[in-house]
Amino acid sequence: MRMNDFGGYTVPAQGLYPFQWNWDSAIVSAGWAVFDEARAWEELEKLFSGQWEDGMVPSIVFHRPSNTYFPGPDIWGTPQKPSKSTGITQPPVAALSVRFLYEHTENPELAEQKLVSLFPKLLAWHRWWYKARDPENTGVVAILHPWESGMDNSPAWDESMKFPIDKLPRYVRCDLNHVDSCMRPTQETYDRYLTLLHRFKAANFYDPSRLYWISPFRVTDLCVNSILIRANRDLRWLALRLEKDDIVKEIDEWLNKGFEGFKQLWDEDSGLFKCKDQLTGKLANAPISAAFLPLFAGVATKEQADKLTHNLERWLGQVNYGVPSMDPEDHRFEPLRYWRGPVWIIMNWMISNGLRHYGYDELADRIKDDSISLTTKAGLREYFDPLTGDGAGGRNFSWTAAMCLAWLD
Ligand code: DGY
């Protein structure tokens, strides 16, 4: 973590990801809290220094230049000159971190002061999600780019990403300078990522009131929505501390609506939650590990939880280390390719936390034990092969380190 500290913010991995990434930083702040509380708050403050006027917190904040990542600030060209961030967002983990820091503080005065200054920023971001990404009031929010889910090349997006690729300015990927191509999204997938970026830029520079309506990719993502519900619960907890009764009511409405919204994501045939393409109205035919995150959100019924754990046990029976990012019996399973098979420790934490909440302690322990074995055996890698336990993707990865400090220790 110290090695990846670029001065108030932590890069996820040097070279591969040389800026401040949104949900990475939120997780990383919990790791910092274990040994340097002031630095933990600073991480979040630095993230929110990139917040847009409308409340959005961008997926990447470009605090200083780097030529080891593509697409950087010159390509994004967001309204600030020079461009200081991307024009899209990422899973809203920050409220969870603020609560974690507040509850684990050794300096209550500092924590109170930080809470007072961060709370309105968190609230503005959550309000942005509902205004910009659920203008039709369905209770669940849309993502408009796979990068917003964090699960960039998940099979859940395969069908929704079939829109035509635009004629793109010539570009050279940098990720393949750092990681073997068998562990990264394909070239065709990258062309689609870039097609979306250029269309959003052409829409009056990422104007949030237009993107929802013009994007050829609009999906309900289980990862973002589960985290948003869980973050709403933590925001509510923080609002109670600050005695903000009106805001508690506003959050209660989001939670009630969200509970209803999740009902449309349940697939009784497979006994799993599924992402949904909002443009076709179809559930994505992809059994992915985010299917278990409604347990983390606390929106699954007891019957649904039983079916989910039945599936999870079957998946775990097929691998040596859980939780694979997709059903290992599915023909699309690739144990090394990013979000199409590998284990991610952050997903393990959320799944295990949800399982414990529903009373499945043995399964929660198994996932925690696997996470300890993986990081002990392969080190602080970005993700792991569920069959061999080998590390994959970036090395010396900040949020894997943070999880070891804040969860596995
Ligand atoms: C990448 O470039 O791989 C990131 O996930 C985008 O945010």
Task: Write the pLDDT tens digit of every residue in 253-291.
Answer: 999 999 999 999 999 999 999 999 999 999 999 999 999
Whole-angstrom distance, CA of residue 372 vs CA of residue 375 = 5
Q: Does the beta carbon of 154 sit less than 6 angstroms from any atom of ligand 1?
A: no
Q: How far is the CA of 368 from the centre of ligand 1 (A)?
A: 26
Q: Given this model, what pLDDT does residue 83 score?
A: 83
Q: What is the pTM of this model?
A: 0.98
As annotated, the active-site residues are 152, 382
Q: Does the beta carbon of 59 sit less than 6 angstroms from any atom of ligand 1?
A: yes
Question: CB of 344 within 8 A of CB of 325?
Answer: yes
Whole-angstrom distance, CA of residue 262 vs CA of residue 281 = 14
Ligand 1, residue 90: give the atom nearest the CA: 7
Q: What is the pLDDT of residues 353-379, one digit of tens each?
A: 999 999 999 999 999 999 999 999 999
Which SS3 state, helix, strand or coil, does residue 215 take? coil
Ligand 1, residue 70: give the atom nearest the CA: 2
Which SS3 state, helix, strand or coil, does residue 398 take? helix
Q: What is the pLDDT of residues 15-71, one digit of tens each?
A: 999 999 999 999 999 999 999 999 999 999 999 999 999 999 999 999 999 999 999
Q: Does the beta carbon of 152 sit less than 6 angstroms from any atom of ligand 1?
A: yes
- Mutational test site, ligand 1, from 11, 16, 17, 184, max ligand atoms within 8 Å of CB: 17
Residue 75, pLDDT above cutoff 90: yes
Ligand 1, residue 60: give the atom nearest the CA: 7
**154 closest CA partner among 8, 338, 309, 401:** 338
Q: Does the beta carbon of 19 sit less than 6 angstroms from any atom of ligand 1?
A: no
pLDDT bracket for residue 80 (50, 70, 90): confident
Q: Given this model, what pLDDT does residue 30 score?
A: 98
Q: Mean pLDDT over residues 164-182, rounded?
A: 96
Q: How far is the CA of 16 from the centre of ligand 1 (A)?
A: 9
pLDDT bracket for residue 409 (50, 70, 90): confident
Q: What angle do CA 291, 293, 299 make, to 5 degrees?
A: 105
Q: Given this model, what pLDDT does residue 59 score?
A: 98
Residue 92, pLDDT above cutoff 90: yes
Domains of the chain, with CATH numbers?
20-408 (1.50.10.10)
Which SS3 state, helix, strand or coil, does residue 40 take? helix
Q: How far is CA 122 from the centre of its chain?
A: 16
The token pair that represents 172 in the structure block: 């050279």
Ligand 1, residue 184: give the atom nearest the CA: 3
* β partners of residue 10: 5
Phi/psi of residue 268, nearest 5 degrees? -65, -35
Q: Given this model, what pLDDT does residue 208 score?
A: 87
Atom 4 of ligand 1, residue of closest alpha carbon = 147
Q: What is the pLDDT of residues 294-323, one digit of tens each?
A: 999 999 999 999 999 999 999 999 999 999
- Mutational test site, ligand 1, from 152, 175, 190, 382, max ligand atoms within 8 Å of CB: 152
Q: Does the beta carbon of 147 sit less than 6 angstroms from any atom of ligand 1?
A: yes
Question: CB of 275 within 8 A of CB of 286?
Answer: yes
Ligand 1, residue 21: give the atom nearest the CA: 7
Q: How far is the CA of 135 from the centre of ligand 1 (A)?
A: 27
Q: How far is the CA of 161 from the centre of ligand 1 (A)?
A: 16
Residue 131, pLDDT above cutoff 90: yes
Residue given tokens 């340097």 in the structure block: 36
Atom 7 of ligand 1, residue of closest alpha carbon = 147
Q: How far is the CA of 152 from the centre of ligand 1 (A)?
A: 7
**47 closest CA partner among 9, 16, 77:** 9
Residue 81, pLDDT above cutoff 90: no
Phi/psi of residue 342, nearest 5 degrees? -60, 160
Residue 348, pLDDT above cutoff 90: yes
